[in-house]
Homo-oligomer: A and B are copies of this chain.
């Protein structure tokens, strides 16, 4: 256990200063808790116990307590968690309170769909720019109004727009070049939708989501009947 000076109970509790690395599985769960708390807050729920939170959203109460304890003492004995306060803390822990600005490389079907997907904005992510190599696309906008820039101007635009996260949504053959462009502009966090394995320098985090790979894995399951996850 970490010991912190500020250890009061209740809504005033502050997140801990961390001294250990946090696993990605933990941060993924924090995201899920945040989504659940937002839903509860929207319903007007003021407090909730870890047990009730777990039951309502099919989560694990012990895991919730353990994950949250890592960041501070948010629970109040006999009351549980204050929904609004815990939500605010989680947003702060995840860096969402400052707003995160996102640039998308690739203004094809997927890039345009992602640019206009309302779900990101609701969660504190703002898509501020699209980038492409095709002359026909540069200077046009997505249906939602996001301007498409020449990828050659990535560094300049990314700085001007304070882009924190780059999304890569280009064909496989162009993906490593896109990753290199983004890394050269000092972007340290990349969400990649292009197939393949890409090299990034130390200190840069690249997460890959390949929609087709997921569908193909399900297709394989249907053919073979494999059930190992």
Chain A residues with CB under 8 Å of chain B are: 18, 21-24, 27-28, 30-32, 34-36, 39, 57-59, 93-96, 100, 102, 108-110, 113-114, 116-120, 123, 125, 164-165, 172-173, 176, 188-191, 195-199, 202-203, 205, 207, 209-224, 226-229
Contact = CB atoms under 8 A, between A and B. Distances in A.
B205 A165 contact: no
Contact of A215 (B18, B120, B218): B120
How many chain copies does the complex carry? 2
A57 B31 CA distance: 32
B35 A195 contact: yes
A93 B220 contact: yes
Contacts of A95: 219-220, 222-224
A34 B210 CA distance: 13
Contacts of A221: 188-189, 205
A120 B113 CA distance: 14
